[in-house]
Structure 1
């Protein structure tokens, strides 16, 4: 609020300052469970705008027993009863200033739940759990012949019980067997090269205790991991994605500054249907004692709008991607007539998703080609349960297709600025982006086990929508992308099809610029594109890397069913042979010029098929 008054002959302006609340004055102090007192304090300021909750520096502990709890649907996580330390609902312009504190959690909790908040800033604190949601085992002996290992695992850090040849890890009153797993290299602090060679089928494994801190694992391994590597296991659905660090829904103007997430039983940050998001100096990383940080993505955004701005951030050691930005395809189960569709949220980790609201613009599309054919507007949505809703629209085409259909919300797609960030040493990809908004990815360091940037879209598995229309990827440094091996590219742009789907008459993605990037590569791969109209690959520099075993995995640039492609002024140095560029016959209007270190292998795949 602004108050004006006359001071002598001058006009003075006094701005009313936001109220700062020292949480210590409300019994929230280090050394005891702060959950109940914090819940009550947050509730007391719910109707007061412009409030800052200030934490004197220290470690604040939070336990689930006295936390507010309710059933919550969390996108890309497992739904259920959630206990919340910071339940922030319906606030306006609230700031949580940790003052450099550590917020330590002691059970199945979601540290921050933010719902229907207009204007919120989280800053200057770290999030951690006293017991991680994964388990780490150091390989101290390895027998390649019988594919067995001896591991060292401190039960005071990773509690477990061995009985009848099986192991159960104890995580907050939850016992988990060896489930999803991966082997990490402690020297690089990243997944080991070609880690799929060393996965274990936990159901087949035989566990024999040797001492209080060591046990032998026999059977189940594809190959025995090398001595010194670290076997990480992180559970099974529906108990492996219960506790993201920060969950945001239906909000506006979210700012996260200088926040570090060391651990989460899910994602570091999951945001749904929120308008304008800024991350500045956020870190997702592991502690010195652990090699892994979050159970899943560092950050994930579904069905948002406005601008998502991510700058000066560090994302490393996650068990999934650094960032994923997308919408949602929702399959149509039945057309009910009268402009009504019965819709089914198909992926189990999108159940409970808010698809839209009256006034939103949507597209109707073929699930066979995943291409839209009609646009209309939401008139009403009647939610039946977490899985299904009835969608009423203003109008439908006169001759509605009788084939399988889906709908997508066109009103809720954000712009993305991803700039000056570091992504490294994580499982999976650096960036996934499928949004119809304007995308700028520049000045980043990207080094991930799988693809560097994946521009996908699928209507069959995760149902992640958003065929891109304007993407610029420039001045980034890609380092050793694809040490998972098996054709992993700095850039892969292609929709994901099932055997029952096919290319339609139009291209899926549009207008992608991949320019002036530096690629340090051991495998010679650059870009693979499928169903893209308007692709510019120019001014990129590829340099051979000796950090991993040399790998010849195929053509550097692969074009399938693309149109209007320019490939020029790219340079490759240090490779034994020129890097190949190939295109299929259904790709048209390709300009290739001045690419030292590259050679064109036009229609090689098509000719091989014909022969």
Structure 2
């Protein structure tokens, strides 16, 4: 009886602590700019925890004029002053309940920024912009012989003009040329097969004119030929205007949940998360709205330098101009060893400037950049930030001999990833990129992307995305037509990315990757390509011919180089009229069992 009474008292106390705020009581309502009122409400909450901001269902407008402005370094985006609609800084146990509402943005704003936040839940709302960050032009006429095409482009949705012979688009106050562009298929709602063939080359087409209202004519500017009639040319500009405004940016936080949130557009990524511990996505969607072909300018979701668990379930990611998910750390090149256990380090990629690489107590690896392999592990004792590009790193100890060219990698901040029951389709680039030393499970997903299905890389020369995986399970997924960019693409590619000056080291880079019980519907007969992997299992997968795209025969079905401890068994291939081959080079401890329809090359 006493125990029951005690529980009742505790539950009552918790209920008393929780507070539900109806935002309409604070002047926040559909049909007006709510930015100022929202910021005042968030300020009034202060450090109070256990608060739910309840938005009655409706369309809520947020303009940039009264938004809080803060200089922000945003990984894989362009740094600068950001105007933020929901600045959730240092908040704890706050829930934003949308009840199915649309949060409609106006101008260059970042809808949500979480900094040093804990226990935040975002749920049941959509994010969109009145004006998109890209422009869409529907091809209505083409003349292959004259290398010309006429496009329909709604100037209300996508303001544009011809200035000194150059087609320019208004990107919320700044005029940009065509820049990056690609063509999307009207039937598949995805990037068109062999899309590079129809790309507009250069910022300034040879000839551009306006033959009528909402019409644009381009001539002699296409890589091979004008796009097919009915297809959509998507143009998305140049740096630094093309990655300024992610929809949700989370840094230095923990225990975040995003539930039934839809992102229709963003001037960057749908979600970018940095140095955060434990985040769960359940029922999140990144998808275009009914007026557009394309959704976000870049990745649907992206995680850099996180730890704990990243859990992604029951989500739909489609129509993005980049990957569905990317989970990685960062390789930071060493400029100079200063002695006394100190290294001068340089964050090389301009879209990682300002990255928090490490803090005292973090375990790091010293890397040989010539082989991208670790030579020593140590602990950070101090870090001095010089500017966005450089910092001085002090560590507990260094080996007697250091490599000539070095990088450092953070070993403490490596998350586990669970990616289950999700749909990825109709997007540019890949479905999944993952390079984390944590435990990775990718299962029961539908994956259909323009490039590789799953890319396990490690990059010490371009994007500097670390690192080598140690435990990856990929099972029970359905891959549909991976690689319709037409290039040599695979459902799974596991290989470090080398420059011409880098080489394989004495050890393998990746470890313990299992690819099993997956179904691959393929027009090119590709399954797995792997380099420098120790412990690779390719088991019981079904490879089925698909005639959705033109037949392609380039490359091997399974291609291995410099791998060790490999088992290939129980796989089957059906419907192909070209050889389904297994090719290995410099690979040790290889077991090839029965694989129906496969031929091993010598």
Q: TM tier, shorter chain?
A: over 0.9
Match of 1:477 in 2: 478
Q: CA deviation at 1:486?
A: 1.4
Match of 1:144 in 2: 144
Match of 1:432 in 2: 433
Match of 2:235 in 1: 233
Match of 2:569 in 1: 568
Q: CA deviation at 1:165?
A: 2.4
Match of 1:188 in 2: 188
1:14 aligns with 2:11: yes
Q: CA deviation at 1:186?
A: 1.5
Does the CA contact (< 8 Å) of 1:46 and 1:89 recur in 2? no
1-structure distance, mates of 2:174, 2:126: 25
Match of 1:351 in 2: 353
Q: CA deviation at 1:12?
A: 5.5
Worse-superposed segment, 590-599 or 6-15: 6-15
Q: CA deviation at 1:11?
A: 7.0
Match of 2:131 in 1: 131
State the Cα deviation string for residues 97-146 of structure 1 (Å, max 9, x = none). 11110000000000000000011000000000000000000111111123
Match of 2:538 in 1: 537
Q: CA deviation at 1:399?
A: 2.0
Match of 1:103 in 2: 103
Describe the SS at the equivalent of 1:191.
Answer: coil
Does the CA contact (< 8 Å) of 1:494 and 1:532 recur in 2? yes
Match of 1:39 in 2: 39
Does the CA contact (< 8 Å) of 1:6 and 1:12 recur in 2? no
Does the CA contact (< 8 Å) of 1:177 and 1:202 recur in 2? no
Worse-superposed segment, 91-100 or 247-256: 91-100
Does the CA contact (< 8 Å) of 2:167 and 2:204 recur in 1? no
Does the CA contact (< 8 Å) of 1:204 and 1:219 recur in 2? no
1-structure distance, mates of 2:305, 2:598: 40
2-structure distance, mates of 1:152, 1:400: 60
Q: CA deviation at 1:437?
A: 0.2
Q: CA deviation at 1:555?
A: 0.7
Does the CA contact (< 8 Å) of 1:5 and 1:12 recur in 2? no
1-structure distance, mates of 2:376, 2:539: 35
Equivalent of 2:372 in 365, 370, 394: 370
1-structure distance, mates of 2:341, 2:563: 35
Q: Kindly report structure 1 stretches of 4+ aligned residues shifted beyond 3 Å.
A: 4-13
State the Cα deviation string for residues 247-303 of structure 1 (Å, max 9, x = none). 000000010000000000000000000000100000000011100000000000000
2-structure distance, mates of 1:575, 1:192: 23
Match of 1:505 in 2: 506
Equivalent of 1:311 in 307, 313, 316: 313
Give me the CA root mean square deviation. Answer: 1.3
2-structure distance, mates of 1:13, 1:313: 35
1:11–1:107 Cα change, 3 Å:
closer
In the TM superposition, what are the counterparts of 1:167-566 in structure 2 within 5 Å? 167-205=167-205, 206-222=207-223, 223-401=225-403, 403-566=404-567
1-structure distance, mates of 2:390, 2:40: 35
Q: How many residues get paired? A: 597
Worse-superposed segment, 34-43 or 418-427: 34-43
2-structure distance, mates of 1:481, 1:258: 27
2-structure distance, mates of 1:7, 1:258: 35
1:201–1:578 Cα change, 3 Å:
closer
2-structure distance, mates of 1:261, 1:342: 40
Does the CA contact (< 8 Å) of 1:203 and 1:220 recur in 2? no
Describe the SS at the equivalent of 2:93.
Answer: strand
Describe the SS at the equivalent of 1:38.
Answer: helix
Match of 2:114 in 1: 114
1-structure distance, mates of 2:396, 2:366: 13
